[in-house]
Amino acid sequence: MTDPSFSTGSDPDPNPDVSTDVSIGGNVQDSEAALVAQVHEAQAAGRALRIQGTGSKAFYGNSCPAEAVLDCTGHRGVVAYEPSELAITARAGTSLLEIEHLLAEQSQQFPFEPPHFGDGTGSDDIGGGTLGGLVATGLSGPSRPYTGSVRDAVLGVRLLNGRGEVLHFGGQVMKNVAGYDLSRLMAGALGVLGVLLEVSLKVIPTPPATLTLVHECSLEAALQQLRRWARRPLPITASAWYQGRLMIRLSGSDEALAESHRLLGGTPLDVAESAWRVLRDQRHAFFLGDAPLWRLSVSPATPADALPGAEDQLIEWGGALRWLTGDQDVAQLRALAQAAGGHATLFRPGRGPMPADGVFNPLEPVVKRLHQQLKSAFDPQGILNPRRLYPDL
């Protein structure tokens, strides 16, 4: 439940204890050298660059007034995969779908359940973008409050900064990461600090079984129930409410799921995997159309009537994530979200205008100054994704 501020295939090697390189695509050294050269050229010319993968998340963030595109899709391939260490390292242009297929072969997955938004052309078969885009946007899916965020999973990165320098932060496996490092600042930074070249992430075992239960109830009743369940040792890994229907996903052994079903009641959902995937990828009916889409991160204890259009909301994350559509009074909505312990983001502008102060909640003066100092340190000429995160960065 964070804002986007900085503060924030091939088969694997049959020996899971040995680091594997399952690179795909062209010459890796050439692709990295080309990216470095383009940043040097842009720096010399004072020309802004818009960092881009497949474009699946181009709708997210503020408009970026760049004169040229830095295409990262050619810099791809898995560098190292350590199933026994629960860690994977891949180049930023690697397809998210390819990585997930590789993990699935070892019965592993990302903990944060990243959304897939297609490949920018309307196809659902490509996998919804790249690893670099996943980390740069920092977007997590239904499991986020139960298994962690993108930022929580970042172990290390290799980064190309605005000076054309290649920097390395963190490590490739958990035992090599000690203390605070700068790698996690890249999660949600939308590329304003640098171009991601490689990313190392934690992964988790795939649960042996899942069960989704459905309860028919009002939003207020659903929020009360979610708060009660949050205080109990239940294997919940996702929750969502929409139009009188509360879905709860449980993950674990068959015995644990049977006992949880006995405690929670509800009707098992037969098409659960598809239902969660549709919700994760925003192909649910709620998200369709061209109306503005607002994403509110608030305290789970926020009452249903504390925000506008209570019965028209879609609720996730145990009540901590609330989606609204339609035209809203921006100042009023942000004030209500702040009063509820969170913030409001214009996730998708749709047909509506962009707020004058940006799609993300404006920063407090001290935090804003820290952001500006970080931007100046990593990208002193401001050539990388200018204004994408905040209008004055």
Q: Do 8 and 188 meet the contact criterion of CB atoms below 8 Å apart?
A: yes
Instruction: Compute the distance between CA of residue 25 and CA of residue 144 in angstroms, rounded to an integer.
Output: 31
pLDDT of 26 above 60: no
Tell me the pTM.
0.89
* pLDDT the model gives residue 310: 79
Helix (H, G, I), strand (E, B) or coil at 31: helix
Does 245 have pLDDT greater than 80?
A: yes
Distances (CA, A) of 235 to 47, 119, 251, 322: 51, 33, 6, 22
Please choose, from the candidates 384, 386, 387, 306, the residue with its C-alpha nearest in 3D space to the C-alpha of residue 344. 306
User: What rounded mean pLDDT belongs to the chain?
Assistant: 89
Which residue type sits at 229?
W
Residue range 349-364, pLDDT digits in tens: 988 789 999 999 999 9
Kindly state the DSSP code that residue 97 receives in the 8-state scheme. Answer: H
Residues with Cβ within 8 Å of 293's Cβ and at least 6 positions away in sequence, in order, are 287, 323, 324, 325, 346, 347, 348, 350
Question: 174 vs 289, which has greater pLDDT?
Answer: 289
Q: What is the pLDDT of residue 385?
A: 98
Structure-model confidence comparison of residues 16 and 383, the more confident one:
383
User: What pLDDT does residue 203 have?
Assistant: 98
Strand partners, 344: 296
pLDDT in tens, 176-208: 555 457 899 999 999 999 999 999 999 999 999
pLDDT for the residue numbered 29? 65
Specify the pLDDT at position 69: 96
Q: pLDDT class for 15, splitting at 50, 70, 90?
A: very low
User: Could you tell me what percentage of the chain is helix, strand and coil, using 3-state DSSP and rounding each to the nearest 5?
Assistant: 30, 25, 45
Determine the pLDDT at residue 94.
96
Q: Say which range, 11-20, 73-82, 211-220, 298-307, has the weakest mean pLDDT.
A: 11-20
**pLDDT tens sequence across 27-72:** 566 899 999 999 999 999 999 999 999 999 999 999 999 989 999 9
Tens digits of residue pLDDT in 160-181: 999 999 999 988 776 555 545 7
What's phi and psi for 298, nearest 5 deg? -140, 175
Is 143 buried (19+), middle (13-18) or exposed (0-12) by CB count in 10 A? buried
pLDDT at 119: 43
DSSP SS3 for 371: helix
- Domains of the chain are 28-205 (3.30.465.10), 209-280 (3.30.70)
pLDDT tens sequence across 100-129 = 999 999 999 999 999 998 644 444 444 569
The DSSP line for 305-333 is: GGSSSGGG-EEEGGGTEEEEES---HHHH
Give the position of tokens 């439940």. 1
DSSP 254: H
The pLDDT, as a whole number, for residue 177 is 52
pLDDT at residue 200 in the model: 97
